[in-house]
């Protein structure tokens, strides 16, 4: 049962030899991450891994590198760079996790910045999303790792995602939401698709024959294996008949042998159909057995290897993601020696936060994180004084205490001891095992707890690192189960005796319960959490039930006084320059729920406004995966959008602030001035289970153009430390063979430093029987490292995709006869040159 031998297997021969029971086993997962093996026929198992690349265990997980989030990657507008990091970093990481498939990329459309997982998707535009996805997939698969593109399709919000019904027109489905998947299929052919959680026009995507059979396999001729997203199957026979090959994971699955056999006897299924689904899984296993033999035939052990080349690549990519949004009087880059800067204030709730990614499935156990504060301080020359103040809190839940705990022996982390219960449900004194862990956010599952009794108790013990001053400290304890927090032996939080039902830990855990304690300077206070995998009674639900996937999270932070914002402003006033680091984090943007507004947390806006009033030389660094409102924009001198940048966050921010890297990022989504300007405003959330995509084709910048609304920062926008001049755009004669038009434009660096520029091509379709957006992105290319005074001529090819729209009467793509306008510019609203070309004869097409 090796990959090496199965790489040459005759799939049809294997399928013919499968018993019905073996075929059924192949179409559902094993455990959380694996496919089934069939030892009798030499079929090996393969493992998949969540985006990240996360390890296979939820408790004491394998360390991992964290790259910038998808919106950050899209902000590079550089497909070559995205392909490079997928090939050179992500693919090796997947293999280090003993796996063969990465559950990525996500290429849903950023329909609204409120979407909890918006940061996981590339952009609001289908063309940019599709080409970024294709680059990501090609990078992974060129290195022998399978890509699983997701979520197929219209999974654009989190609230009620398992039952929400995305109601949208045929044109919007094709031109906006399916379009990036279609581009990725044409240019990269992903090995796998993962279906969305939601319904599409009344039918769940995991059992939707139009989506899986007619479009994916019929029109697009895709040979990809189709799996469910985790727990995203809601039927047995309908999902199998519709074309869903693999149900994931094994837990609470539908495709149990006995149930499938009942469907067979009732003629709801046929063995032929089951074997068709199994054959798709086998083809994937064979494909990966050829390209990833050493992993499939390996020992299955996960590992992490920190390499200098990976760190350098992550730093380079992260810096390329950053978008310079404002630079009044060229306050950036910061040149302390030239500007006479002797004292810098670093302020803000995100300055010292170890923030690498958004939350939910995207969160990993980071091997390391360089904070903005550490990156900036390291980048400063000697002799510059630094003053720091948090200013205000920016978190939703109390920050995790991963870096603030030590064991009795002084090692990082705390000791987790697992205790079984006897037959009378009493704790047995001797622990099953005790291990050191370095996380305070833990799913209490995995091998560590495998030898314990069905009901068990876990005790976490450690010491808080000594404080520099006396502090009033607020702890927060969240559990799926029940828990108590003790500080120096004193009960501080009781989330055990009576509980409140909540939606933490993927919808099953309690809300965060708070308690406060006075911490003394120079004292290593003792911290203990007692946890049990049995939930406590709650109002209206008194049952003390055993929980299926228990979890515990401990956080804490100093209680900031009311005057903290004014204290920060005083520090800023006394400095030559103030850098304010603000934004969201993985609590605000996460899988499982959507944001309710676009505001920065708590008193953040007040903080920025007061800092800017105190010091006109204020630069703001914002970290978020999607849009936030910025009412203080006119008050600050400098502003950069830093997204979630991964492990090298602080170094990348410093590289841009100090001019080591000339920023070249461009916005992959529109930042609105207010929530009411967002195209889906008023109909984003489910209404009786239905989500009406009433903005139709007018998503993102297309809606702002259509409604004549000026955004805060438009799609495609981004400044540089140099300037660029565009030449006159020219188009070639139309080639009618498979339709193509060559577009040429020159770009000149008219500034004093080398820089890169993402050149964007927008096309306007002629007026016809159907309406169209005013203009649509149809090509882009990045001019890289153009020296001062130098010019480069860029050529784009517009193909049939650039001139076509979906005709919902004939159900085909159509291009009309008429005049097409080509606009080339530096953003969706900054057109530098335009021209036209003619399509002499209308045409239609189908497929890819």
Please give the full DSSP string across 783-827, using - where no structure is assigned: EEEEPTT-EEEEEEEEEGGGT-EEETTTTEEEE-SEEEEEEEESS
| Residue 307 CB neighbours (<10 A) | 11
Tell me which residue has tokens 């964007």: 760
The residues, ordered by sequence, that sit 6+ positions from 135 with a Cβ below 8 Å of its Cβ are 79, 80, 82, 83, 86, 188
For residues 415 and 625, give the distance between their C-alpha atoms in angstroms, rounded to a whole number.
34
Task: List the end-to-end C-alpha distance of the chain, in Å, as a whole number.
Answer: 38
Given this model, what pLDDT does residue 436 score?
95
Res. 2: pLDDT tops 90:
no
Given this model, what pLDDT does residue 393 score?
96
Percent of the chain with pLDDT over 90: 94
Given this model, what pLDDT does residue 507 score?
77
Kindly list the distances between the CA atom of residue 351 and the CA atoms of 116, 379, 773, 824, in Å, as whole numbers in the listed order.
Answer: 23, 15, 41, 38
The region, left, alpha or beta by phi > 0 then psi within -120 to 50, assigned to residue 594 is beta
Tell me the average pLDDT across 692-718: 98
CATH number at 312-397+566-688: 3.40.50.1700
**DSSP category for residue 190:** -
Given this model, what pLDDT does residue 53 score?
86
**DSSP category for residue 760:** E
Bridge-based pairing of strands 192-195 and 146-152 is parallel
pLDDT confidence of 177, banded at 50, 70, 90? very high
Tokens of 641: 């959008």
Catalytic status, residue 229:
yes
Residues in the chain: 848
Peptide bond into 333 cis (omega under 30): yes
Helix (H) or strand (E) holding 605: helix 604-614
For residues 249 and 233, give the distance between their C-alpha atoms in angstroms, rounded to a whole number.
10
Given this model, what pLDDT does residue 738 score?
84
Given this model, what pLDDT does residue 820 score?
98
Three-state secondary-structure class, residue 38: strand
- 98 backbone dihedrals φ, ψ, rounded to 5°: 60, 35
Res. 589: pLDDT tops 80:
yes
- Equal CATH topology for 400-558 and 724-845: no
Give me the sign of the Cα torsion angle 502, 504, 506, 508: negative
The residues, ordered by sequence, that sit 6+ positions from 178 with a Cβ below 8 Å of its Cβ are 153, 215
For residues 587 and 163, give the distance between their C-alpha atoms in angstroms, rounded to a whole number.
23
Given this model, what pLDDT does residue 736 score?
82
**What are the residue ranges spanned by the domains of the chain?**
312-397+566-688, 400-558, 724-845
Tokens of 17: 């030899």
Tokens of 73: 């990657």
Given this model, what pLDDT does residue 337 score?
87
The residues, ordered by sequence, that sit 6+ positions from 75 with a Cβ below 8 Å of its Cβ are 321, 322, 323, 641, 643, 665, 666, 667, 668, 718
Tell me the average pLDDT across 767-788: 96
- 640 backbone dihedrals φ, ψ, rounded to 5°: -125, 145
CATH architecture designation of domain 400-558 = Sandwich (2.60)
Res. 769: pLDDT tops 90:
no
* Torsion angle in degrees (nearest 10) through CA of 686, 687, 688, 692: -80
Mean pLDDT value across the chain: 96
pLDDT confidence of 150, banded at 50, 70, 90? very high
In 3D space, the residue among 144, 221, 209 whose CA is nearest the CA of residue 182 turns out to be 221
Given this model, what pLDDT does residue 480 score?
96
Given this model, what pLDDT does residue 56 score?
80
Percent of the chain with pLDDT over 70: 100
486-538 tens-digit pLDDT: 999 999 999 999 999 998 887 789 999 999 999 999 999 999 999 999 999 99
Given this model, what pLDDT does residue 330 score?
97
632-684 tens-digit pLDDT: 999 999 999 999 999 999 999 999 999 999 999 999 999 999 999 999 999 99
DSSP per position, 168-227: --HHHIIIIISHHHHHHHHHH--SEEEE-SSEETTEEGGG-HIIIIIIIIIIS----EEE
In 3D space, the residue among 840, 595, 596 whose CA is nearest the CA of residue 733 turns out to be 840
Given this model, what pLDDT does residue 683 score?
95
pLDDT confidence of 547, banded at 50, 70, 90? very high
- Bridge partners (DSSP) listed for residue 623: 583
330-357 tens-digit pLDDT: 999 999 988 899 999 999 999 999 999 9
434-459 tens-digit pLDDT: 999 999 999 898 888 989 999 999 99
251-309 tens-digit pLDDT: 889 999 999 999 999 999 999 999 999 999 999 999 999 999 999 999 999 999 999 99
- Runs of H (alpha helix) within 205-299: 209, 237-242, 257-265, 271-291, 293-296
In 3D space, the residue among 699, 665, 663, 672 whose CA is nearest the CA of residue 827 turns out to be 665
800-842 tens-digit pLDDT: 999 999 999 999 999 999 999 999 999 999 999 999 999 999 9
Helix (H) or strand (E) holding 134: helix 126-142
The region, left, alpha or beta by phi > 0 then psi within -120 to 50, assigned to residue 737 is alpha
CATH of 724-845, one of 2.60.40.10, 3.30.70.360, 3.30.1330.30, 3.30.230.10: 2.60.40.10
Per-state percent for the chain, helix, strand, coil, to nearest 5? 25, 30, 45
* Cα-trace Rg, the chain: 27
In 3D space, the residue among 204, 254, 209 whose CA is nearest the CA of residue 29 turns out to be 254
For residues 387 and 351, give the distance between their C-alpha atoms in angstroms, rounded to a whole number.
12
Assess contact for 30 and 287: CB atoms under 8 A: no
* Torsion angle in degrees (nearest 10) through CA of 172, 173, 178, 182: -80
In 3D space, the residue among 277, 274, 275, 178 whose CA is nearest the CA of residue 219 turns out to be 178
Tell me the average pLDDT across 96-114: 96
Res. 149: pLDDT tops 80:
yes
From 229, 245, 696, 816, the catalytic residue: 229
For residues 472 and 318, give the distance between their C-alpha atoms in angstroms, rounded to a whole number.
36
Given this model, what pLDDT does residue 635 score?
98
Given this model, what pLDDT does residue 252 score?
84
The residues, ordered by sequence, that sit 6+ positions from 190 with a Cβ below 8 Å of its Cβ are 137, 141, 146, 147, 148, 149, 184, 224
- Bridge partners (DSSP) listed for residue 590: 593
């Amino acid at each position: 049962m090796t990959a090496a031998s199965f790489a040459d297997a005759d799939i049809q021969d294997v399928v013919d030899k499968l018993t019905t029971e073996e075929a059924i086993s192949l179409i559902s997962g094993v455990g959380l991450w694996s496919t089934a093996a069939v030892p009798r026929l030499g079929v090996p198992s393969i493992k998949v891994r969540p985006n990240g690349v996360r390890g296979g265990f939820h408790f004491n997980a394998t360390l991992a590198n964290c790259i910038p989030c998808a919106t950050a990657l899209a902000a590079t507008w550089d497909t070559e760079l995205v392909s490079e990091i997928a090939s050179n970093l992500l693919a090796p990481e997947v293999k280090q996790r003993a796996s063969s498939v990465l559950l990525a990329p996500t290429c849903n459309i950023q329909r609204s910045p409120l979407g909890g997982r918006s940061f996981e998707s590339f952009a609001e535009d289908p063309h940019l999303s599709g080409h970024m996805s294709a680059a990501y997939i090609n990078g992974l698969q060129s290195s022998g790792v399978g890509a699983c593109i997701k979520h197929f399709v219209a999974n654009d919000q989190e609230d009620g995602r398992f039952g929400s019904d995305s109601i949208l027109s045929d044109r919007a489905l094709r031109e906006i939401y399916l379009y990036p998947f279609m581009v990725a299929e044409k240019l990269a052919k992903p090995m796998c698709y993962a279906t969305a959680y939601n319904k599409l026009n009344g039918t769940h995507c995991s059992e939707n024959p139009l989506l899986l059979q007619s479009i994916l396999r019929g029109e697009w001729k895709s040979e990809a294996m189709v799996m469910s997203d985790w727990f995203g199957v809601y039927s047995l026979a309908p999902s199998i008949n519709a074309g869903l090959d693999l149900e994931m994971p094994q837990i609470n699955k539908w495709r149990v042998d006995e149930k499938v056999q009942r469907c067979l006897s009732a003629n709801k299924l046929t063995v032929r159909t089951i074997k068709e689904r199994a054959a798709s899984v086998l083809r994937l296993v064979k494909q990966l057995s050829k390209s990833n033999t050493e992993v499939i035939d390996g020992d299955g052990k996960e590992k992490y290897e920190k390499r200098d080349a990976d760190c350098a690549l992550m730093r380079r990519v992260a810096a390329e993601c950053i978008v310079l949004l404002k630079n009044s009087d060229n306050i950036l880059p910061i040149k302390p020696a030239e500007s006479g800067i002797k004292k810098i204030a670093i302020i803000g709730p995100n300055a010292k936060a170890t923030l690498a990614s958004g939350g939910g499935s995207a969160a990993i156990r980071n091997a390391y994180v360089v904070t903005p504060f550490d990156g900036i301080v390291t980048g400063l020359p000697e002799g510059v004084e630094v003053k720091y103040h948090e200013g205000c809190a920016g978190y939703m839940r109390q920050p995790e205490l991963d870096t603030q705990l030590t064991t009795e022996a002084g090692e990082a982390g705390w000791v987790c001891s697992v205790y079984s219960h006897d037959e009378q449900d009493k704790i047995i004194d001797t622990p099953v095992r005790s291990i050191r862990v370095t996380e305070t956010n833990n799913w209490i599952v995995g091998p560590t707890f495998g030898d314990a009794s069905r009901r068990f108790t876990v005790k976490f013990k450690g010491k808080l690192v000594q404080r520099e001053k006396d502090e009033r400290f607020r702890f927060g304890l969240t559990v799926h189960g029940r828990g108590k927090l003790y500080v120096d032996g004193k009960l501080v939080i009781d989330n055990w005796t009576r509980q409140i039902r909540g939606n933490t830990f993927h919808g099953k855990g309690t809300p965060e319960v708070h308690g406060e304690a006075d911490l003394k300077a120079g004292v290593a206070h003792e911290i203990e959490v007692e946890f049990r995998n049995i939930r406590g009674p709650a109002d209206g639900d008194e049952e003390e039930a055993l929980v299926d996937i228990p979890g515990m999270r401990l956080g804490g932070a100093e209680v900031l006084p009311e005057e903290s914002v004014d204290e920060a402003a005083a520090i800023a006033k006394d400095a030559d320059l103030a850098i304010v680091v603000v934004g969201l984090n993985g609590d605000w943007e996460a899988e499982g729920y959507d944001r309710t507004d676009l505001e920065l947390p708590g008193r953040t806006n007040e903080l920025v406004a007061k800092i800017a009033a105190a010091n006109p030389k204020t630069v703001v660094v914002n970290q978020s995966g999607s849009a936030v409102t910025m009412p203080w924009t006119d008050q600050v001198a400098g502003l950069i959008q830093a997204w979630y940048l991964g492990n090298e966050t602080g170094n990348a921010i410093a590289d841009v602030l100090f001019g080591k890297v000339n920023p070249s990022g461009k916005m992959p989504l529109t930042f609105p001035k207010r929530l009411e300007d967002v195209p889906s405003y008023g109909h984003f959330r489910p209404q009786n289970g239905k989500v009406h995509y009433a903005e139709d084709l007018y998503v993102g910048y297309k809606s702002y153009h259509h409604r004549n609304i000026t955004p805060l920062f438009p799609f495609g926008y981004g400044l540089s430390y140099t300037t660029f001049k565009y030449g006159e755009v020219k188009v070639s004669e139309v080639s009618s063979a498979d339709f193509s038009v060559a577009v040429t434009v020159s770009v000149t660096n008219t500034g004093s430093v080398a820089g890169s520029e993402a050149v964007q091509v927008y096309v306007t379709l002629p007026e016809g029987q159907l309406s169209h957006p005013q203009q649509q992105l149809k090509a882009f290319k990045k001019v890289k490292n153009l020296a001062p005074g130098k010019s480069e001529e860029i050529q784009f090819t517009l193909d049939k995709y650039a001139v076509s729209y979906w005709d919902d009467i004939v159900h085909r793509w159509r291009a009309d006869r008429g005049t097409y306008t080509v606009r080339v510019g530096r953003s969706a609203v900054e057109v530098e040159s335009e021209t036209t070309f003619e399509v002499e004869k209308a045409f239609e097409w189908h497929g890819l």
